Structure 1
């Protein structure tokens, strides 16, 4: 069924020309009713709002309801009623296309349901892209010109400096407290010649970064390499987003531009030490594939684990070992946690659990029992320490496996902090059903107990009409439930197909126990890593080397309950 959103806007409350609100409103209503045949429409009016941007209450309300799927068409009198900024219009149109909403501008005769209308709109978008690029080039030229004059173009404020609004020169000035930390870092490195040792010394003295975070060796190296501390302003040094270094002839370097913290002599000495150490580290390294790299997180502090190579095992196998970021980058005396786990333990657990998951999925539809699903998931000697799976997770797993989503469709679902909003269409259908059921009850009361009793024929006809209406609503609820359930956590089971294909290809599903350590000696570890990255988004590990939970790429979470 078609429904149109009609948007009207004027810049002042007293506009009475042809673009005034009443005129726009009537023109769009007529267009919707007589040209499009749409009687179901809603008007959104913003009176007294400028077209310089889209920060307008009724416009934002309309877009929210478009995102909710309420409208099939959007009508405006002229494109500039949306915004006089083509970039804003481009963003809006991208959203309309995403939600399959047809855009129509009556004055310019753009109707994106037709080929010509779509083509004209694309021409508009091309010019919007041109405007964006030209604006970018103009801004870039202005910023280069400012930098050549030694003016600040904005950037993360370096440690040791602060921003002061007062005064004619808008440029960072030295912050005495932070400047002492910068000098401490340079002096310590000159003495210790190790960024890791400097990091440990900073931690031992209770000194934190500018933002109060943990020090890293890279942060310290960046400070030691930054010529800003000797009064040199360097601009256009890297590509955007801390990308690669640009050619040196594109740099803008203004020496003695601002107050320094470090002497040039000390800066050059520190840089020469860094260069010498870098040359000493430039040795060829054998690449090593870490199967679970970027997946493991520490339950204690939430940080990711860093992969390294463990000691050799029999047959030359070199497994990976994964240690918490805070474990690796903290002095032994100041470590916040000691969370670490080896591939020797993690690999067999994960691969065998994936195999169990595939078997449990195939079996769940046959047995239909939650307890049996849990038993299959935890089958094998590797899982003997686990008493079970968290009840809420187990219910979700079993419900998704068996396709039973009836009792989780209508309420807000909490899934690791991610909320899925109620389906308002579904709520409306349920309300309609309740009204029909109440009408049915009143009809029966009227027929059985009222003094002005209706005839049996009238009663049966009306009862049949209500019953048909209830049946139709039930069918709509069922169809909508199936559609809505696709958005629930864990509904997408494509990751199980990926795991199945891999495990079948390796002829592993027939085996009750998969010898992971033997397997990685005879196969391409990159294939195994690709599998893990495609089906798993997070593995949480405890300090005692227990796997606390596994979160899959479809949002399904498996939390394990261990025996004491």
Structure 2
């Protein structure tokens, strides 16, 4: 008999000394005592509210491939605190004569009474989780209603963890004032972002369009603290922050923002760009977005440009129109399909990333361990609040990126588009309506890496180049 031994701790439990090593030790002792073969799976820093955890997904996938005869856990809530998820797991294991073993609870998932016990335990675990959530939300609401600032203070301010007071960060406040003044004068977010990049320290390098548009809407700079609750209500605390922007300038900026939205050229369905959402710059790796050339009339040329062409990094990729992109795409598809037909296209190499899940999960767990150590260092006053926030946000962002990459990885498979004949593809594409071309891309293509260098950059006339196409 071979068991999958599963252990889990959340971030909060790690801080409270709830060790994953102790769980694994007890589980392995149990397996050895009963002469069971076993394999260990652990998820560190994950909540049990759902099954969106790297190693539980791998465990369940391998369980469905008949690699194990059952699952052993230290306690039921290590597996899940969701009644629905628990019921689905138990139903599957019952149907396939698999064992579910908990070292701390006694039940038999093969009997009616055992399944009832399991369901009740799962319901209690879910109730505990939801009760904790309600208490946290209530605590946040009470803190806000009592006049305390809830959450992270905005850019431009410092928060003293000991005194609970907020002060102005003079260096950041200077940037806030520049953003508001430049926007009031009619500068766009791209122009403001480039100015900040050229004139301020490197820590503001990621100060992009999104951050600027969020900043100009923040009433925090008028001194207000606004807390929004889950029930849709909000609580406003006047004079919670030292004022950085005066009311007249704030109102002027809101007026400019509204006017820009009103005069923006409305999107027309018939002019919808075919390749929007699929293009990545082959020079800098950032997204390529749509850009209208000419007037906003019927003769407008549908074009594309790198999102960082006029941004901080000023990418060298030139603007190109949809007609030349379509031509390059068809040529690239014909050459790719021809390579597949001749056996020169190595599918396994092109889709090797699909086998990279284990490596990414290991990297993710290492990041979670670093975030755990960061918490511990902060709790023991080894690092400041500012350093803790900076490190924690950095780790969290990297974790989210890895989790998204892990979730998008698929098993190696031959892309569906390879069923097309290379000689037939140009005619098939050219006979499609615009909406059908978009639908084809959504069905078969994930990403297109493309670039074009200008005459000024190379000294010669350059054509558009499609470096790579990633297929679904």
TM, length-normalised to structure 1: 0.54
1:6 and 1:215 mapped to 2: Cα distance? 46
| Partner SS state of residue 150, structure 2 | coil
* Equivalent position of 1:242 in the other structure: none
**CA contact 1:159–1:210 (8 Å) conserved in 2:** no
In the TM superposition, residue 178 of structure 1 has moved relative to its aligned partner by 0.9
Deviations, residues 84-114 of structure 1 (Å, cap 9, x unaligned) = 6785697996997799863134885533455
Asked if 2 retains the 8 angstrom alpha-carbon contact of 1:73 and 1:102, the reply is yes
Partner residue, 2:414: 493
Unaligned regions of 5+ residues in structure 2, if any? Answer: 8-24, 41-46, 49-53, 360-408, 454-463
Work out the CA distance in 1 between the residues paired with 2:251 and 2:163. Answer: 32
Q: Deviation at 1:325?
A: 0.8
Structure 2 counterpart of 1:228, from 220, 232, 240: 220
Q: Does 1:294 align with 2:277?
A: yes
Shift of 1:301: 1.2
Instruction: Answer whether contact 2:107 2:118 (CA < 8 A) is retained.
Output: yes
Give 1:324's match in structure 2, choosing from 299, 302, 306: 306
In structure 1, distance between residues paired with 2:446 and 2:293: 24
**For structure 1, which runs of at least 5 residues remain unmatched after alignment?**
9-20, 33-38, 45-52, 55-59, 240-245, 365-371, 375-393, 401-407, 423-487, 504-508, 554-564
Structure of higher CA gyration radius = 1
Indicate if the aligned counterparts of 2:292 and 2:301 stay in contact, CA closer than 8 A.
yes
Question: Relative to structure 1, is the Cα distance of residues 135 and 6 closer, same or farther in structure 2, using a 3 angstrom cutoff?
Answer: closer
Structure 1 residue aligned with 2:450: 541
Shift in alpha-carbon separation, 1:343–1:117, aligned structure 2, 3 A: farther
1:184 correspondence with 2:178: yes
Cα deviation for residue 140 of structure 1 reads: 1.5
Cα RMSD of the aligned pairs, angstroms, is 4.7
Alignment-derived partner of residue 4 in structure 1: 3
* Alpha-carbon spacing, 1:152–1:29, altered in 2? closer, same or farther (3 Å): same
Aligned to 2:427: 514
Which moved further from structure 2: 544-553 or 270-279? 270-279
SS in 2 for 1:306: strand
Deviation at 1:519, TM superposition (A): 3.3
**Which residue of structure 1 lines up, in the alignment, with residue 470 of structure 2?**
551
SS in structure 2 at match of 1:336: coil
Q: CA deviation at 1:211?
A: 4.9
User: Aligned in 2, Cα 1:210/1:143: closer, same or farther, shift over 3 Å?
Assistant: farther
Q: 1:146 to 1:177 in 2, by over 3 A?
A: same
| Residue of structure 2 aligned with 1:419, choices 340, 351, 356 | 356
**1:243 equivalent in structure 2:** none
CA separation of 1:262/1:296 partners in 2, compared to 1, >3 Å: closer, same or farther?
A: same
Classify the secondary structure of the residue corresponding to 1:326.
coil
Q: 1:172 to 1:292 in 2, by over 3 A?
A: farther
Question: By how many angstroms is 1:151 displaced?
Answer: 1.7
Q: CA deviation at 1:201?
A: 3.6
Distance between the aligned counterparts of 2:353 and 2:77, measured in 1? Answer: 42
The partner residue of 1:162 within 139, 158, 165 is 158
**Aligned twin of 1:430:** none
